């Protein structure tokens, strides 16, 4: 089972990561000014991760592949790590879809 981990950054903003059951980070959020906004971001991931149309598949300038998860308003709520292949990136998307809905929430503040 996956886990959302909320942490506080040095600039006092909050961020979450979604980890798969094996502990690998599969999605990282933007920074949020409050913990409540960060928790709202987690709920948005839970909801939007179940819609294939919310995943944007991209290629970085260095040729590596990644994806963004977007909310219904088009705002990015999470980004993946960089992948070497399209198959690996697609597996990352499937992992987010599988892990996000029931993931526990933990804090590292």
Q: What is the mean pLDDT of residues 8-14?
A: 93
For the chain, the domains span 3-108
For all residues of the chain together, what is the average pLDDT? 96
C-alpha pair distances (Å), 33 with each of 36, 61, 85, 89, 96:
9, 30, 34, 29, 24
Dist. CA 61–CA 52, nearest whole Å: 24
pTM of the predicted model as reported, rounded to 2 decimal places: 0.94
Segment 49-53 long-range contacts (CB within 8 Å, at least 24 positions apart): 49/96, 49/97, 49/100, 49/101, 50/97, 50/100, 50/101
- pLDDT, tens digit, 9 for 90 and up, residues 45-85: 999 999 999 999 999 999 999 999 999 999 999 999 999 99
Q: What is the mean pLDDT of residues 8-32?
A: 95
Question: Given this structure, which CATH class describes domain 3-108?
Answer: mainly beta
Dist. CA 5–CA 10, nearest whole Å: 16
């Amino acid at each position: 089972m996956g886990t959302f981990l909320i942490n506080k950054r040095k600039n006092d903003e909050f961020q979450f990561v979604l980890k798969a059951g094996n502990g690998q980070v599969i999605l990282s959020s933007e920074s949020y000014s409050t913990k409540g906004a960060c928790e709202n971001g987690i709920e948005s991931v839970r909801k939007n991760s179940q819609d294939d149309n919310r995943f944007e598949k991209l290629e970085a300038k260095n040729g590596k592949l990644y994806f963004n998860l977007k909310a219904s308003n088009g705002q990015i709520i999470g980004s993946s790590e960089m992948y070497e292949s399209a198959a690996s990136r697609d597996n990352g998307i499937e992992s987010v879809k599988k892990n996000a809905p029931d993931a526990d929430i933990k804090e590292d503040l």
